[in-house]
């Protein structure tokens, strides 16, 4: 039994057998198999060879005589793939070392490659490249087969991988894919977001998890505590089965309170909004008792379309959510991603540090046609309900002024075309850079509301990339530096009497709720599944207690001390949630 700690990105408990998806671009880890699986793995090696031979034969035939050099290379590779002694070396490795076909194949070909690379004759030493090429071709055969298997599952599995693309994750069949565990990724990665919207428990940033998992072993994914347990003992499995059933009862009780107001025991009303990614999640927010949409991420429009989304694409996606909430607020965030992720961006500047580069509002301000398209659509839906616009990653006053100026341009265009919109549409900004937090009093003078995006604010303040498993433990909302910035922003917003909400992950963390209420926040925007639980926390506390707690935290000097204190208090208030 082995326990790995990662980041919980999608709640729930899954207990199932593992299915590992390796990547040919990533080192294939040594994965053990049982002696009884030997024959199956040997068969997979043989099938990979026949597949690769068929592929190469077709490729060779397709080449013309003029391409005789390439033909020659293929001919040589074919001889190697047909060489029984090469195949035998790999199948012997599977039998002797009891590893998966992928590992045996990779390690054998790399051994041969390095044998060649060591030779003095440059012509022969360069042949090492041929073996890496053959390795790739054979691995593609093996991994492609696994991918097909994932699409045609017949039993429940936990998917274990280095990384998954959003498309891959979105194609998972929820009936059989019970949990996800990956090495890469962070809470805000698209895998995480898709897993959450599908309701599949997921844990990411698990260092070297693909190395630890043996094929077909039992894995528990604890998407609440951010843990993965590999080969659990019987006792642990029973404990988790009990925990899972308790959780579902707890969830049921939370569901019952969905129509109750989010009000503290001493009568202070708190507004709970939902963060959404896809328009159909608006219903989920409503079902869970949310008061509106506090953050409508619009990146999916760009990521899931091959061509640039039209104004009408934008309009339809927004109109649905706005109609769902009628007079309740829907805060639409303008495009928030980097040039590196924007598939329609023809010229993709290679940036050495994209997180500090041309992304989000900066990218929009340089791609006005695209930006104006989105703004027009948002303005057009503004007549359907309480629509608000929020600009992401504002890092100085100048950017806010520019963005507002472009919004005014678009309004004038609409006036000229006689298209209706709400001229008083509230305009807010995300506070997610230290520079914005430090100049909050200036920014507050020129916008209608703030929404604190704690995820980026923490990353930029602490200089930590949470998706990087080597430093992710340094990432903490409880860091005194982060809390100091939050205090500043909350103070300035309340002083300027503008709207204020917290929409980062902190708002869905039961441990942090008392602290942020005590610091003066009255509106939270969070992941829809978490709304009932957070409401339950709010209904269990008094604002007086929250204020006391916030004052006490202000005297503490370390992340660890603060975190422990918040946890202790939270467990007393709502023991079932922890």
Q: Return the active site residues.
A: 190, 503
Of 67 and 72, nearer to another protein (C-beta) is: 72
CB of 63 to another protein, least distance (A): 16
CB of 46 to another protein, least distance (A): 17
Q: Give the whole-angstrom CA distance, residue 161 versus residue 159.
A: 7
275's enclosing H/E stretch is: strand 271-276
CB crowding 429-460: b at 16 or more within 10 Å, else e: bbbbbbebbebbeebbeebbbbbbbbbbbbbb
Q: What is the DSSP letter of 3?
A: E
Strand-pair category, 2-5 with 227-230: antiparallel
Of 68 and 245, nearer to another protein (C-beta) is: 68
Of 53 and 170, nearer to another protein (C-beta) is: 53
The helix/strand/coil state of 308 is coil
Strands annotated E in 128-209: 157-161, 177-182, 202-204
Of 130 and 231, nearer to another protein (C-beta) is: 130
CB of 76 to another protein, least distance (A): 5
CB of 170 to another protein, least distance (A): 42
CB of 82 to another protein, least distance (A): 8
Contact between 390 and 451 under an 8 Å Cβ cutoff? The reply is yes
Residue 278 CA, distance from chain mean position:
14
The helix/strand/coil state of 181 is strand
CA distances from 1 to 4, 234, 236, 276 (A): 10, 10, 9, 37
CA distances from 138 to 112, 150, 320, 563 (A): 15, 19, 47, 49
Nearest residue to 510 (alpha-carbon basis) of 574, 563, 561:
574
Of 88 and 572, nearer to another protein (C-beta) is: 88
The helix/strand/coil state of 357 is coil
Binding site for another protein (CB under 8 A): 72, 75-76, 79-80, 83-86, 112, 115-116, 119, 121, 123-124, 127, 130
CB of 87 to another protein, least distance (A): 10
Two tokens at 199?
A: 């309701």
CB of 118 to another protein, least distance (A): 10
- HSE-CB for 473 with a 13 A CA cutoff: 5
Strand order in the sheet with 202-204: 2-5, 227-230, 218-222, 13-21, 157-161, 177-182, 202-204, 7-10
CB of 117 to another protein, least distance (A): 11
20's enclosing H/E stretch is: strand 13-21
Of 127 and 552, nearer to another protein (C-beta) is: 127
Of 72 and 326, nearer to another protein (C-beta) is: 72
Of 79 and 560, nearer to another protein (C-beta) is: 79
């Amino acid at each position: 039994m082995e326990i790995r700690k990662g980041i919980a990105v999608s709640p729930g408990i899954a207990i199932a057998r593992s299915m590992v998806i390796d990547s040919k671009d990533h080192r294939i880890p040594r994965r053990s198999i049982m002696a009884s699986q030997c024959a199956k793995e040997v068969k997979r090696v043989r099938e990979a060879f026949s597949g690769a031979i068929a592929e190469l034969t077709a490729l060779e035939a397709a080449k013309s005589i003029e391409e005789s050099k390439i033909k020659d290379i293929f001919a040589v590779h074919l001889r190697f793939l047909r060489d029984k002694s090469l195949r035998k070396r790999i199948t012997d490795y599977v039998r002797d070392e009891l590893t998966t076909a992928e590992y045996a194949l990779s390690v054998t070909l790399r051994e041969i490659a390095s044998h060649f690379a060591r030779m003095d004759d440059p012509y022969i030493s360069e042949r090492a490249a041929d073996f890496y090429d053959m390795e790739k071709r054979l691995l593609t055969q093996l991994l492609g087969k696994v991918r097909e298997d994932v699409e045609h599952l017949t039993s429940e599995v936990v998917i274990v991988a280095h990384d998954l693309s959003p498309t891959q994750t979105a194609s998972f069949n929820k009936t059989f894919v019970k949990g996800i565990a990956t090495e890469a990724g962070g809470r805000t990665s698209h895998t995480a977001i898709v897993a959450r919207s599908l309701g599949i428990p997921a844990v990411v940033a698990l260092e070297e998890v693909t190395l630890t998992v043996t094929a077909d072993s039992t894995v528990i994914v604890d998407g609440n505590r951010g843990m993965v347990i590999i080969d659990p003992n019987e006792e642990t499995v029973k404990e988790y089965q009990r925990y899972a059933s308790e959780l579902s009862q707890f969830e049921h009780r939370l569901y019952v309170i969905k129509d109750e107001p989010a009000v503290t025991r001493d009568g202070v009303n708190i507004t709970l909004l939902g963060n959404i990614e896809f328009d159909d999640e608006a219903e989920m927010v409503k079902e869970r008792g949310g008061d509106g949409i506090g953050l409508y991420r619009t990146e999916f429009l760009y990521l899931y379309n091959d061509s640039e989304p039209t104004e009408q694409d934008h309009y339809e996606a927004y109109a649905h959510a706005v109609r769902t909430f009628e007079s309740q607020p829907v805060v639409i965030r303008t495009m928030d991603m980097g040039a590196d992720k924007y598939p329609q961006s023809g010229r993709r500047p290679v940036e050495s540090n994209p997180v500090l580069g041309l992304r989000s509002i900066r990218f929009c301000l340089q791609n006005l046609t695209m930006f104006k398209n989105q703004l027009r659509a948002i303005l057009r839906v503004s007549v359907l309900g309480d629509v608000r616009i929020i600009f992401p990653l504002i890092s100085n006053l100048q950017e806010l002024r520019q963005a507002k100026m472009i919004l005014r341009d678009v309004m004038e265009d609409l006036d000229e075309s006689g298209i209706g919109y709400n001229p008083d549409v509230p305009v807010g900004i995300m506070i997610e850079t230290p520079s914005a937090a430090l100049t909050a009093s200036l920014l507050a003078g020129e916008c209608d509301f703030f929404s604190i995006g704690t995820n980026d604010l923490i990353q930029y303040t602490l200089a930590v990339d949470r998706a990087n498993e080597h430093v992710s433990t340094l990432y903490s909302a409880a860091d005194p530096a982060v809390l100091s910035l939050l205090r500043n922003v909350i103070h300035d917003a309340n002083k300027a009497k503008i709207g204020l909400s917290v929409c980062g992950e902190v708002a869905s963390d039961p441990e942090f709720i008392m602290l942020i209420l005590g610091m003066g926040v009255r509106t939270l925007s969070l992941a829809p599944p978490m709304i009932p639980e957070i409401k339950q926390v709010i209904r269990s506390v008094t604002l007086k207690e929250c204020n006391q707690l916030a004052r006490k935290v202000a005297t503490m000097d370390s992340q660890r001390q603060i975190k422990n204190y918040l946890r202790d208090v939270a467990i007393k208030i709502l023991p079932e949630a922890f």
